[in-house]
Amino acid sequence: MKISTVSVYSSLLFIVMLSASNVNAGSADISGSFSYQTINGRESVRIEIEQIHNNTPNITTGTLYVTLWMTHDREPWGSGYNAARESLTFGDVPTGQLRPGARFTNIRFTTDFDSPPDGTYYVHLIVSQHPDLNTALDTVTFPGTTTLSSTGGSVGGGGGAGPGQSFATALPILDHNSDPHPVALDDAFEDDPRYFRIDIPESGTFSIWSSGSHDTVGKLYDARRVLIAEDDDGGRSGNFLIVHSLEAGTYYLTVAGYNNSRAEYILYTSFESSGGGGGGDIFFELKLEEPIRDEVHGGIGNLRGWALSENGIDRVEMWLNGSFLFEMPYGGDRPDVAEVYPEVAGAQKSGYSMAFGYSNIGAGTHTMTARAYDMVGNMREDSATFSVVEFHKNFIPYWDEVSVRDGSCSLYDDEISLRDVSIDGRVYDLLLKWRTAEQGFEIIEVQ
């Protein structure tokens, strides 16, 4: 049995009923105090929330649901237990929807409690459109953990979101330009991250990182609170570094200390518009030449390209499918680059290159991204999406027999087709293609 009360506040003095076709996804923030308490031997739970606010100027939410979500990990996203869920379809708004600028206040309801198995959990409140948590609009996490035991009594908790303690109260970062500059001096704990709001005025490359003597973890979310990038030690001395291409819009960043340690830090940002600017007339170019965009790679090949800036190059990083791999050796001989840019100092030694085991990353489609940073913090990136083919094992050692004795060969333009090739006792059909960048033939198909 559900017992519910709610107050509704709106800047308008009348209620407009919207048909389903007129309702779009909106944004609803939990703010103020919130609590939960199990009752009747943990058969029921009472949930109270001070306010849920639709902060959009022109979008009405869908039917809102509140879920009491319990997880073993502190992050609410991922596997967990739905301990209680209720729609806000009561009070003066039976549709459970919030019009632009409207809010539910003093939300109180009692509903069934579906207890997870015995154990220790983090407890979250999630507001979503419809029962599906994929439509979540906001979440708050109760301080500490809760332990459930078959011999234990009731459980409960309470909290409140002060400035920078939730998505709804995120601290704004307003200053965006191409010169790296501090935007915040703060401290946080791993179990109590600091929240920041970032409004990007136009599409471009956004960089944000911490500086200090403590290990930090940074996580970047889009406007719907979906995690789009995270980093732990990509920066200097255990600090996080996130570099991401963003469209114009609102984003959120959380910063926490690693492993419950205190994290005092200075937060820095840099923004490079896709339309140019930021570096003024300073020359800065980066090219990723291998892997080759939209081509197929396999076995052991090359990662290579060049980077050149009038400010000098600090480092070149390689990222695979959005995750940091390593820094590249830089300073290789590139007379071809020096011939094109003779006026830029360092052009002769602007190359980066190393051997790379493509078969180690698995068959399928991947994206490799090179990121170059100059000596004043400007960044350029270049990416290539490519495919990988592989044999039944990542590396064929010298003692595994490879034979074309019983095979056949056909030639066409710049391709070689080999049939019935025996490798370590298995038979394959292979297609090889000439690659100018490699000055040789590469296997592009394995059947």
> 318: domain CATH number?
2.60.40.650
Of the ranges 21-35, 173-187, 262-276, which one carries the lowest mean pLDDT score? 173-187
Of the candidates 140, 161, 182, which is a domain's last residue?
Answer: 161
Q: How far apart are CA 371 and CA 364, in angstroms?
A: 23
Residue 340 has what DSSP assignment? H
Average pLDDT over residues 302-322: 88
In a domain, 279, yes or no: no
Residue 199 has what DSSP assignment? E
What local confidence, expressed as pLDDT, does residue 69 receive? 94
Q: Are 420 and 378 part of one and the same domain?
A: no
Give all strands of the β-sheet with 296-298 in edge-to-edge order.
Answer: 296-298, 379-389, 364-374, 313-320, 323-327
Residue 47 — φ and ψ, nearest 5°?
Answer: -120, 135
Secondary element (H or E) of residue 79: none
Domain that holds residue 218: 171-273
Q: Are 106 and 236 part of one and the same domain?
A: no
Alpha helix (H) residue ranges in 347-430: none
Q: Are 304 and 433 part of one and the same domain?
A: no
- Cα first-last separation, the chain: 61
pTM: 0.40
In a domain, 278, yes or no: no
The pLDDT tens digits for 79-116 are: 899 999 998 886 556 788 888 777 787 788 889 999 99
- What percent of the chain stands above pLDDT 90? 11
Based on the structure, what is the number of domains in the chain?
Answer: 4
| Highest mean pLDDT (candidates 50-59, 302-311, 408-417) | 302-311
Q: Please, are residues 46 and 85 in contact by the beta-carbon 8 Å criterion?
A: no
Q: Which residue has the higher pLDDT, 187 or 208?
A: 208
Q: Please, are residues 171 and 233 in contact by the beta-carbon 8 Å criterion?
A: no
Of the ranges 53-57, 62-66, 339-343, which one carries the lowest mean pLDDT score? 53-57
Q: Which residues, in sequence order, are CB contacts of 238 under 8 Å at separation 6+? A: 214, 215, 216, 232, 258
Q: How far apart are CA 378 and CA 312, in angstroms?
A: 10
The pLDDT tens digits for 383-414 are: 888 888 766 665 667 676 777 778 778 877 77
In a domain, 322, yes or no: yes
Q: Are 221 and 347 part of one and the same domain?
A: no
The pLDDT tens digits for 344-372 are: 888 999 999 888 888 778 778 888 888 88
Query: 34 is written with which tokens?
Result: 């919130």
Q: Cα 394 from chain centroid?
A: 29
Q: How far apart are CA 103 and CA 97, in angstroms?
A: 10
